[in-house]
Amino acid sequence: MAGGRGLPPALPRGGASLWRSDRGAAGRGRRAHAGAPRGPGRVLRLRRDLCGEVSDAVGRHGPRQGGADSRPGRALGGVQRGRLRAADRRGARARRRLWGPAQARGRDRRRGAGPDAAAAARGRRRAPVSAAGPDGAGHPLFPILPHRLSERLPEALADAQLQAFVGGTTRLKDAQRAQVAADTFGAGHGAVRRAAGQLARHTLDHLDRYLARWIDEARARGTRVHVADTDEDARRIVVEIATQARATRCVKAKSMATEEVRLNDALEAAGVETVETDLGEYILQLDGDAPSHIVTPMIHKDRAAVGRAFERELGVPYSDDREALAAIARAELRAAFGRADLGITGGNFLVASTGAVVIGTNEGNGRMTATAPRTRVALVGIDKIIPDMEALSLMLGLLARTSTGQPLTVYSSIASGPRRPGEADGAEALHVVLLDNGRSRALADPELRDALRCIRCGACLNACPVYRRAGGHAYGSVYPGPIGAVLTPLLAGQGAYPDLPHATSLCGACHRVCPVDIDLPALLIAHRRRQVSQRRIAWRERLVHHLWAWSLRLGWAYRLSLRLQRWLLRRRAGAGGFIERAPGPARRWTETRALPAPAPAPFRSWWRRWGRRGAAGWRDGAGGRDG
Average pLDDT over residues 123-137: 42
Q: Does 195 have pLDDT greater than 90?
A: yes
Q: Do residues 171 and 460 make contact, with C-beta atoms less than 8 angstroms apart?
A: no
Q: Does 37 have pLDDT greater than 70?
A: no
Q: Is 459 helix (H, G, I), strand (E, B) or coil?
A: helix
DSSP bridge partners of 349: 358
DSSP letter string, 519-562: -HHHHHHHHHHHHHHTT-S-HHHHHHHHHHHHHHHSHHHHHHHH
Residues 602-609: contacts with CB within 8 Å, 24+ apart?
A: 602/562, 602/566
The type of residue at 296 is T
Secondary structure letter of residue 502 according to DSSP = G
The type of residue at 560 is L
* CA 145 to chain CA mean position, Å: 19
Average pLDDT over residues 308-325: 97
Q: Does 236 have pLDDT greater than 90?
A: yes
pLDDT of residue 370: 97
Nearest to 396 by CA among 515, 309, 476, 297: 515
Q: ∠ at Cα 12 (9, 15), nearest 5°?
A: 160
- The pLDDT-based confidence of 135 (bands split at 50, 70, 90) is very low
Express as a percent the part of the chain with pLDDT over 70. 75
Contacts of 615 (CB under 8 A, 6+ apart): none
Phi/psi at 346 (nearest 5 deg)? -95, -145
d(CA 444, CA 552): 39
What are the distances in angstroms from CA 392 to CA 195, 349, 370, 458, 505?
Answer: 13, 8, 19, 18, 33
- The pLDDT-based confidence of 42 (bands split at 50, 70, 90) is very low
* Choice among 32-46, 398-412, 498-512, 523-537 with the minimum mean pLDDT: 32-46
d(CA 81, CA 323): 45
Q: Does 84 have pLDDT greater than 60?
A: no
d(CA 136, CA 556): 53
The pLDDT tens digits for 240-259 are 999 999 999 999 999 999 99
Which alpha helices (H) appear in 578-627, and where do they start and end? 603-606, 612-626
- The pLDDT-based confidence of 617 (bands split at 50, 70, 90) is low
The pLDDT tens digits for 50-83 are 233 333 333 333 333 333 333 333 333 334 433 3
pLDDT of residue 579: 87
The pLDDT tens digits for 465-494 are 999 999 999 999 999 999 999 999 999 998
d(CA 23, CA 69): 7
- The pLDDT-based confidence of 602 (bands split at 50, 70, 90) is confident
* Choice among 42-46, 237-241, 280-284 with the minimum mean pLDDT: 42-46
Please tell me which residue, 105 or 505, carries the higher pLDDT value. Answer: 505
Q: How far apart are the first and last CA of the chain?
A: 55
Please tell me which residue, 155 or 49, carries the higher pLDDT value. Answer: 155
Q: Does 164 have pLDDT greater than 60?
A: yes
The type of residue at 202 is H
The type of residue at 336 is A
* CATH architecture assigned to 7-124+206-437: 3-Layer(aba) Sandwich (3.40)
What are the distances in angstroms from CA 16 to CA 19, 50, 173, 381?
Answer: 8, 8, 40, 17
DSSP letter string, 215-260: HHHHHHTTPEEEEESSHHHHHHHHHHHHHHTT--EEEE---HHHHH
- The pLDDT-based confidence of 114 (bands split at 50, 70, 90) is very low
What are the distances in angstroms from CA 262 to CA 72, 137, 401, 478?
Answer: 20, 14, 29, 10
d(CA 602, CA 295): 49
pLDDT of residue 485: 98
pTM of the model: 0.76
pLDDT of residue 615: 61
What number of residues does the chain have? 627
pLDDT of residue 131: 38
Average pLDDT, the chain: 80
d(CA 114, CA 607): 85
DSSP letter string, 56-93: S-SSS--S--------TTB-BTTBB----PPP---TTS
DSSP bridge partners of 284: none
d(CA 462, CA 166): 9
Average pLDDT over residues 25-43: 36
d(CA 195, CA 394): 9
Q: Does 313 have pLDDT greater than 70?
A: yes
Q: Does 519 have pLDDT greater than 70?
A: yes
* Choice among 107-121, 395-409, 415-429, 503-517 with the minimum mean pLDDT: 107-121
The pLDDT tens digits for 88-104 are 332 332 233 333 433 34
pLDDT of residue 609: 79
pLDDT of residue 386: 98
pLDDT of residue 532: 85
pLDDT of residue 350: 99
Q: Do residues 519 and 528 make contact, with C-beta atoms less than 8 angstroms apart?
A: no
Beta-strand pair 342-345/249-252:
parallel
Secondary structure letter of residue 76 according to DSSP = B
What are the distances in angstroms from CA 97 to CA 236, 239, 501, 510?
Answer: 25, 20, 45, 44
The type of residue at 396 is L
Q: Does 429 have pLDDT greater than 60?
A: yes
Q: Is 509 helix (H, G, I), strand (E, B) or coil?
A: helix
Average pLDDT over residues 571-587: 82
pLDDT of residue 80: 41
The pLDDT tens digits for 270-295 are 999 999 999 999 999 999 999 999 99
Please tell me which residue, 12 or 613, carries the higher pLDDT value. Answer: 613
pLDDT of residue 345: 98
Domain ranges of the chain: 7-124+206-437, 149-205+449-537, 562-626
- The pLDDT-based confidence of 162 (bands split at 50, 70, 90) is very high
The pLDDT tens digits for 324-382 are 999 999 999 999 999 999 999 999 999 999 999 999 999 999 999 999 999 999 999 99
d(CA 245, CA 267): 13
- Count of helix runs (H) and strand runs (E) in the chain: 25, 14
pLDDT of residue 535: 76
What are the distances in angstroms from CA 605 to CA 509, 554, 560, 600?
Answer: 37, 18, 14, 10
Q: Does 238 have pLDDT greater than 60?
A: yes
The type of residue at 571 is R
Q: Which stretches does DSSP call E strand in 320-436?
A: 342-345, 349-351, 356-361, 375-381, 385-386, 411-415, 429-435
Express as a percent the part of the chain with pLDDT over 90. 61
Nearest to 491 by CA among 397, 383, 337, 566: 383
Please tell me which residue, 570 or 475, carries the higher pLDDT value. Answer: 475
